[in-house]
Amino acid sequence: MDQKVFQITNNLNFYKGDHTYTVGFSLEKFMFDNSFNLTAYGFSKFGSVDIAEFDASSYDFAGPQATFNANNAVPDGEGWALAETNVGQLAFYVQDEWNVSEKFKLTYGVRFDKPLFFDSAEKAQDVIDRGFVIADQPYQNPNTGETVFIDNTQMPSNDWLISPRVGFNYDVYGDRSLQLRGGSGLFTGRFPFVWLGNQISSPDVFFLQAVDPDYKFPQVWRTNLGADKRLDNGMVLTADLSYTKDINGPHVHNWALTSPSGNLSGVDTRATYTAGDLLNSFGLGAGPYVFTNSNKGRIWNASLKAQKTFDKGLYAMLAYSYLDAKDVNSIEAEITSDAFAGNPIINDANADVLAPSKYGDKHRFIGVASKNWEYGNGKWGTTLSTFFEYAQGGRFNYTYGGDINGDGSGINDLIYVPTSTEIGQMQFSGTGQGAAFDAFIAQDDYLSDRRGQYAERYGALAPWRGRWDVKFLQDYKITVSEGKTNTIQFSVDVLNIGNMISSDWGLVQQPNNIQPVGVTVDPDSSIPTYTFNPELTETFGYDASLLSRWQAQVGLRYIF
Amino acid at position 231, single letter = L
Per-residue pLDDT band at 414 (split at 50, 70, 90): very high
The per-residue pLDDT for 133 is: 58
Residue-averaged pLDDT of the chain: 90
φ, ψ of residue 324 in degrees (nearest 5): -130, 95
- CA–CA separation, 120 and 88 (whole Å): 11
More confident residue, 475 or 201: 475
The per-residue pLDDT for 80 is: 58
- Contact present, 163 and 186 (Cβ < 8 Å): yes
Interval 103-136: pLDDT, tens = 999 999 999 999 999 999 999 998 888 766 566 7
| Least-confidence region, from 191-195, 353-357, 463-467 | 191-195
- CA–CA separation, 517 and 435 (whole Å): 13
End-to-end CA, the chain: 41
Per-residue pLDDT band at 5 (split at 50, 70, 90): very high
Please give the distance of CA 301 from its chain centroid, rounded to a whole number: 17
Q: Which among 146-150, 187-191, 294-298, 330-334 has the top mean pLDDT?
A: 294-298
- Contact present, 451 and 441 (Cβ < 8 Å): yes
- What whole-number percentage of the chain has pLDDT above 90? 80
Per-residue pLDDT band at 316 (split at 50, 70, 90): very high
The 10 Å Cβ neighbour count of residue 306 is 16
- CA–CA separation, 280 and 206 (whole Å): 10
- CA–CA separation, 168 and 103 (whole Å): 11
Q: Which among 106-115, 149-158, 478-487 has the top mean pLDDT?
A: 106-115
Per-residue pLDDT band at 205 (split at 50, 70, 90): low
The per-residue pLDDT for 203 is: 79
Q: Is the pLDDT of residue 71 over 70?
A: no
The per-residue pLDDT for 51 is: 43
DSSP-derived letter for residue 130 is T
Looking at residues 144-168, what average pLDDT do you find? 95
Q: Is the pLDDT of residue 216 over 50?
A: yes
Taking the model in full, what pTM does it have? 0.88
Interval 317-327: pLDDT, tens = 999 999 999 99
More confident residue, 467 or 75: 467
Residues linked to residue 229 through DSSP beta bridges, in sequence order: 178, 237
Q: Is the pLDDT of residue 294 over 80?
A: yes
> What DSSP letter does each residue of 351-399 carry, written as one string?
----EE-SSS-SEEEEEEEEEEEEETTTTEEEEEEEEEEEEE---B--B
The per-residue pLDDT for 281 is: 78
DSSP-derived letter for residue 153 is T
Interval 355-398: pLDDT, tens = 999 999 999 999 999 999 999 998 999 999 999 999 999 999 99
- CA–CA separation, 391 and 323 (whole Å): 11
Residues linked to residue 334 through DSSP beta bridges, in sequence order: none
Q: Is the pLDDT of residue 45 over 50?
A: no
Per-residue pLDDT band at 1 (split at 50, 70, 90): confident
Per-residue pLDDT band at 42 (split at 50, 70, 90): very low
From residue 100, how far is each of 19, 268, 327 by CA, in Å? 9, 63, 39
Amino acid at position 553, single letter = Q
Q: Which among 41-45, 199-203, 231-235 has the top mean pLDDT?
A: 231-235
SS3 annotation, 100-160:
CCCCEEEEEEEEEEEEECCCHHHHHHHHHHCCEEECCCCEECCCCCCEECCCCCCCCCCCC
